[in-house]
Structure 1
Amino acid sequence: MTGCLMAGAMMLALAEGGSFTLEWTHSVEREEWRETWEITEDHRLHLTEAAVKGSGAGMEPGEGGHFEDGWWVWVPDLPPVPALNLAASGKTPSAWTLCGEACTELGASSGKPVQLVPCPDAG
């Protein structure tokens, strides 16, 4: 199953299976953070994996975390959500990088938060 994601007014194609990754640099610790998400059958967003390059304030590895290729990796135990809101302060060390079929930077400059939601049904 392929899918798509609305990022504000942009429609982004996702890889096979309807999954995507979000990567950014933590605003305080200046360490890389990565999350893998999938779109569920009921059109919600489910966090399937999280990873951080280091640890520090607000970015400790979750329960069951293990060290893999320079990253602390774990599977969060969280329910799916209808949408994600990404802050766009323009003052963080990096934009959000969303990778589906291709990669796109979001929220690099100051502005309204960017909301990520699954595309509505085409049928």
Structure 2
Amino acid sequence: MALCLSAGGASIKLAVSAFSLVWLHSIEKIDWQEDWQVGSDTLTLATAWVKGSGAGMEIPDGAVHEGGRWRYHPRLQVAQLSLVRSAYSPDYRLCLPGQPCRPLADWLPAAATPTEIRACREEDAAR
């Protein structure tokens, strides 16, 4: 499996089968984390973590408080993620297995929006 990222004409392919996205909620100023699995043509949201509730961040039924955060399992499957990045809030952080989290700007231009994240397809093999 591989993860493809693209923004502003730039693209990158990462050989991973899982990743996490972390961002700071623009109003509540607390981290939100989503743990994703990379499939052959989809991304599956396996687990989400949030430190507290607030504006648009209600803790869902069945969530478990663990390590100072709420953990829950949304089980969402999508073809791709389309992220809007703003100069007015910190960049998304991408966490790869066995590596520290790093801002998306370490891979793609920070000003480029939207940033697309998806499972790589066969036609991406040439990249």
Give TM-score scaled by structure 1 length. Answer: 0.82
Aligned to 1:76: 74
Superposition deviation, residue 120 in structure 1: 1.4
Superposition deviation, residue 38 in structure 1: 0.5
5+ residue gaps, structure 1, are none
Superposition deviation, residue 77 in structure 1: 4.0
Question: Identity across aligned pairs (percent)?
Answer: 36
Structure 1 consecutive aligned stretches of length 4 or more whose deviation exceeds 4 Å: none
Aligned to 1:4: 2
2:3 touches 2:13 (CA, 8 Å); kept in 1? yes
Aligned to 2:27: 28
Aligned to 1:55: 53
Amino acid at match of 1:37: W
Higher relative contact order (CA closer than 8 Å, sequence separation 6+):
2
The structure with more helix, counted as a fraction of residues: 2
2:18 is aligned with 1:19: yes
Superposition deviation, residue 20 in structure 1: 0.8
Aligned residues, how many? 114
Corresponding residue SS for 2:32: strand
Aligned equivalents of 2:20, 2:69: Cα separation in 1? 15
2:114 is aligned with 1:117: no
Aligned equivalents of 1:105, 1:6: Cα separation in 2? 16
Alignment RMSD: 1.8
5+ residue gaps, structure 2, are none
